[in-house]
Amino acid sequence: MHRILKATWKTILVIWASPYSALGLCIGCLGLLLGGHGRWRDGALEFYGGSTRWLIRRLPTGPTTAGMTLGHVILGQTGSGLETVGEHERVHVRQFERWGPLMGPAYLLASAYLWCVGRDAYRDNPFEVEAYNQAP
């Protein structure tokens, strides 16, 4: 019975985060078609290389970004880079499970507020602070 409840709860969390997972899956599949790679690792789909790498390099944090998370999908530049930041990104997977569709707006609003008050919009963002504290 406990296993059934646990599996049901996990299914609910996956559905709650699914709008972002669907976006990540689209980006990852395009990456696969354009020279990238994919794998299932520790409860998340990971896509890297190809056009996925190209996209990650164009984020505001640029070439230094090893990965980013959308729901249960982690996008990265290289497989080895994703291994390095895997624990950090899985904290974000759990955040998507908690926040669901509200994660994107909450993250962006926190960053915007921090930027407006002169703080670092990335490093001081509470979502990143949690991820760095749990998986440096």
- Chain segment 78-126, per-residue pLDDT in tens: 999 999 999 999 999 999 999 999 999 999 999 999 999 999 999 999 9
Q: What is the mean pLDDT of the chain?
A: 96
Alpha carbon separation from 120 to 6, 15, 78, 128, 130 (Å, rounded)? 38, 32, 26, 11, 15
Say whether 49 sits in a helix, a strand or coil: strand
131 has a pLDDT exceeding 90:
yes
- Going by C-alpha positions, the residue among 112, 113, 68 that lies closest to residue 93 is 68
pLDDT over 70, % of the chain: 99
